[in-house]
Amino acid sequence: MRVALTAALSFDTSWEGLLALVTGHELHLIDDDTRRDPDALVDYVARERVDLLDLTPSFAQEAVAAGLLADPRHRPRVLMLGGEAASRPLWTDLRAARDTEGHNYYGPTECTVDTLGCRVDSADVPVIGKPWPTRGRTCSTPGCGPRRSASPASCTSPGSRWRADTTACPA
């Protein structure tokens, strides 16, 4: 699989590209000028036959308008969204894309990066998704420790941290 790293290495989403590289996939490091220009990125994706991109929804919307999902030369097989909420028009465009599978990894806080997700075709309107099945959910509250939590929204005590990387302990 050809994976394009479209983020700076200091941004959390850069992990996807690095993980793809260490698992044997071809990693394309997209330069700053290309990753900031939707037309240039669409051309690069088509020319180099990139299979997977991870973009913010606002930039993805610009790339879709520039032909990312319609270029007859090549379209990515997977488009990952994250970093901000997806718009309804982008969601609709991704659901309609025949050759591209859309995934939303946006969570409600910076503490939930890539812990929630869904395929775009799983809902008619933008949703943040659910915790991945291999991860438990806990809310760690100062003074009373972890407790089972269905979502980050239920973790509202001051100083609380919602974690989706550990199994829950009884309250």
CA distance 26 to 46: 15
SS3 41: helix
Closest by Cα among 78, 68, 64 to 2: 78
pLDDT in tens, 98-133: 999 999 988 776 666 677 889 999 999 998 888 776
Per DSSP, 11 falls in state S
User: Which pLDDT score is estimated for 5?
Assistant: 93
CA distance 75 to 57: 17
**Residues in CB range of 130: below 8 A, 6 or more apart:** 116, 117, 118
Q: Can you name the residues that pair with 5 across neighbouring β-strands? A: 29
**pTM of this structure:** 0.76
SS3 147: strand
pLDDT at 170 over 50: no
Task: For the beta carbon of residue 92, count every other beta carbon within 10 angstroms.
Answer: 14
pLDDT in tens, 60-94: 999 999 999 999 999 999 999 988 899 999 999 99
pLDDT in tens, 16-58: 888 888 999 999 999 999 999 999 999 999 999 999 999 999 9
Domains and CATH numbers, the chain: 2-132 (3.40.50.980), 134-171 (no CATH)
pLDDT at 10 over 80: no
pLDDT at 171 over 50: no
CA 121 distance to own-chain centroid: 14
